[in-house]
Structure formats: structure tokens, C-alpha cells
Amino acid sequence: MSEENNTTAAVPEEDTVRKKPENSKWNKFLRDTLAWVKRTIRIHEDTDYEATVNSINSAISFKGINVWILFFAIIVASVGLNVNSTAVIIGAMLISPLMGPIMGIGLAIGTTDSDMLRLSLRNLLVMVGISLLASTFYFVLSPLGDAQSELLARTRPTIFDVLIAFFGGAAGIVATSRKSQPFTVISGVAIATALMPPLCTAGYGLATAQFRYFFGAFYLFFINSFFIALATFLIVKYLHFPQKKYLNKAREKLVKRSISVFSIIVVIPSVIIALHVIRETSFNTSANKFITEIQESPYFEHSQLISYKKEFGYKEQSIMLSVVGKEITPEEITHIQTLMRNQYGLKNANLIVKQTEHFYSSQNENEVIEKIIERKDAQLAEYQQRIDELESELDKLNTNEKTNQQIAKELAVQYPSITSFSVVKLVYTDTKSLKTDTIPTLFIESTHSLSNEQKQKLLQWLRVRLEEPKLEIK
């Protein structure tokens, strides 16, 4: 009994000895992999702290050449927006000096440099003022007064603008902090973050007294600026930039407290704004999906949607559909609204359906008639395709019937005992793998049983005759 116990106890010891090298190899692999990842993503060694601060300080400066460059860039960007030229707008963004003070704000907060923060804020406000004056002046004099697509695109911030500003700002400060600053990255950041077009659009709103354009565009500029500064601050902290030292400890404490209060004052509304942008983007996405799909529903079978309008509010949202044709009943509208709220996630949205059986003008009449004809043509094409498919199936059935009659004659000669047969495509499901397969299966009725040899011969003949290599017999 004791020998058995000793033998039993020895087994785990051998297993432990045998598993130790395996565990060691696995642990070494994990350590090597983790070390390689750290070496790959680490950027601290190539950081030039002094050069970065000097570079951003020079970009913050707003006098002499920077004033002229900003003025010229704003005019170029305004022209590009006015004539709807993407290439011109990109060129203006490349020469704009607006990024300097914004990155300066992030760097100043990250290094508790109150002088740099004060200078960055002052120069940014001056730059924004000059930009608005220059763009407003241009659009007041411009003979082209219509808002083009490039201009309208800068009036409604979305969550994508937030992401672009944040990651663009991060790329900008990382590139600026390198010993050899990659010009292509910094240029790309200037294009991607798009600071100038919103300011030009805000100037257009002032020039044409369309203040919704002004507030929407300025809102977008603020979002972009804040998240560029936030990204700069976070990277500065990650790279452990040296903090500015003050001889007077009381002043140092006051500066740090003031910067913290300023950061909180800016961050809180910015977070609220960002959440609002996310909600609005989500609403627009769901609303567009709802509007697109509801037109194909049975409710619009005899009606036509000619226009729609979406309104997003903080507490309530609404979708207004303008419809002509057969009237949609109040019960159907209630059902559509329930569907909109439950299936499309528009819980707080109200549905407003404006409809009439009459056309407002000949232009509207022609447009609606064309849309109805297009829709009916699409339905007719779909019906015709279905008819062709059914006719094809019918032809196959007729062909199969003739084939079966011929095979019946041949079977009567070769196997007189067979009185009837049937070939059916059955779906077989494997109980273990749960895989399914469709296999043609032969059923026969006979006056007496066929031998296995006769069944195999019959099966091989019918596989060739029916061109069904997977045919089985039951």
C-alpha cells in the first residue's frame, strides 16, 4: 500500500519537472514580445524638448510676416470656398499660421507656463478677429453670393471632426517634438485639422447676415481648436516635458491653480459640446437610414416622398416628411412613428407627415410624376425578373416530367419488377457537426425486393442518366 502511494505521489513531480522548461519558454516569449512592443512604440528617446518649445514659441508669435501670411491665407481660403475649389482651400490651410497658438495653449498647460498660455490665448484671439474681418470683407465684396458645398460642409460639426482634430493634433505635437521634424506630417496635420475654412465660413455668415452659418462654423472651429490643444497637452504629459520652475513658490502655486481652474472651465463645456455632437451624429445617421428604408415600405406604395427635414434639439428631435399621392392614414402614421422609435433608435423623435393629393406647381408635378414612373418601372422590372424565374422553374418541371416518362419506359424494360419511382432532393443534417447537405434520393416500389447488386447497378445507371453524381437510393 505504501509503495502504491509513493508511486502515485511521484507522478506530479515528474510532470512538474517536465513542464518547467515549457513554462520558461512561454514566459520568455511573452517578455521578449512585450519588450519589442515597448521599443517599437517608444518615442521618448528622440524627443527634443528645448527645440520643441522654441519651435512652438516662434509659431505663437503674431507680428510682421505672420500677420500678412494669415491675411493672405484667409483670402485664399475664402476664394476657394466661394468658387468651390478644394485644391485652393488645401493650399490656404498649408500656409496658415493658426496652429501655432493652439498648440501653444496645450504646451503651456502641460508645462504650467503661464506666460506662454497668456501669449497663446491673446494671439489666438487676435488671429481669429483678423480672420473674421478679412473673410467678412471678402464676402461683402464678392459677386458670388451663393453658398457652395465646400462652404456648407463647414457649418455642422460631427463626431468625425472631433476625431480628426484630436488625432491630427496628436500627430502634430509628436512630429514637432522630433529632433528631425518631418515636414510632411506637419503639413498633413494642417490640412486634416482644417482650421481656416470654418473661420471663413463664419465670415460668410456675418457678411450675408446668416447667423446660423456663423454660429455653426465658429462652433466647428472651437471644437477643432480645443481637441488639438487637448491632444497636445496629453502628448506633452506623456513625453514628460519639464515643468517651468518659479523662484517664488507662492507664485508657482498660484500659477498651477489658475491653469487648473482655466482647464476645468474650458473642459467642462467642451465635453458637453462633444457629447452633443455625438448625439447629433447618431441621430442623423439613424434618421437617414429610416428615411431611406421607409420609402420602400408598403405605406408609400401609392405615395411619393418629395422632401424631408430633420431637426435635432437637446431634448426633442423631429423628422418632417412631405408626401404626395394617396393619403397615409393617421393610424398608419402612428404605426410608422412607433416603428421609427423602436426599430431605428429614434426614441425622442417626433414624426410629422405633411401630405396632399394635389400638386403645388407644374414643376413639382413633373418632378413627382417622374419619380413615380421611375419607381413603377423599378417595380415592373422586379416583377418581370420574378416572372422569368418562375417560367424557368416551370420549364425545368416540364423537362423533368418528360425525362421521368422516358426513364420509366427504360426501367420497365430493364427492371420489370419496378412499378414506380421518384427522385426527391432531400436536406440531410449531420447530428454531430450540424452541417446540412442537399442530396437527390431515389425511392422505388417493386413487386419483389431487388438484390444489392441490382440496386448498385440501377444507382450507377441513374447517376449518369440524370447527371446527379450524388444520387442515393432508399
Q: What is the pLDDT of residues 316-340, one digit of tens each?
A: 788 888 887 777 888 888 888 888 8
Distances (CA, A) of 386 to 202, 354, 364: 54, 35, 33
Tens of pLDDT along 215-253?
888 888 888 888 888 888 888 888 888 887 766 677 767
Query: At residue 438, what are phi and psi to the nearest 5 degrees?
Result: -95, 120
pLDDT of 371 reads 65
Tens of pLDDT along 272-306?
777 777 788 888 888 888 888 888 888 777 777 77
Write down the mean pLDDT value for the chain. Answer: 77
| DSSP category for residue 158 | -
Q: Are the CB atoms for 399 and 410 separated by under 8 Å? A: no
Alpha helices in 194-349 (DSSP H): 196-207, 211-238, 249-294, 330-343
pLDDT of 80 reads 81
Q: Are the CB atoms for 190 and 179 separated by under 8 Å? A: no
AA letter at 364: N
Distances (CA, A) of 276 to 162, 215, 281, 326, 339: 12, 15, 9, 38, 24
pTM of the model: 0.56
**Residue 6: is its pLDDT beyond 50?**
no
- Residue 354 CA to residue 336 CA, distance in Å, equals 14
Tens of pLDDT along 249-272?
777 677 677 777 776 776 677 677
Tell me the domain boundaries of the chain.
Answer: 1-41, 49-244, 415-473
Spell out the CATH class of 49-244: mainly alpha
Tens of pLDDT along 89-120?
777 777 777 888 888 888 888 888 888 888 99
Distances (CA, A) of 19 to 14, 25, 27, 31: 9, 10, 12, 18
pLDDT tier at 133 (50, 70, 90 boundaries)? very high
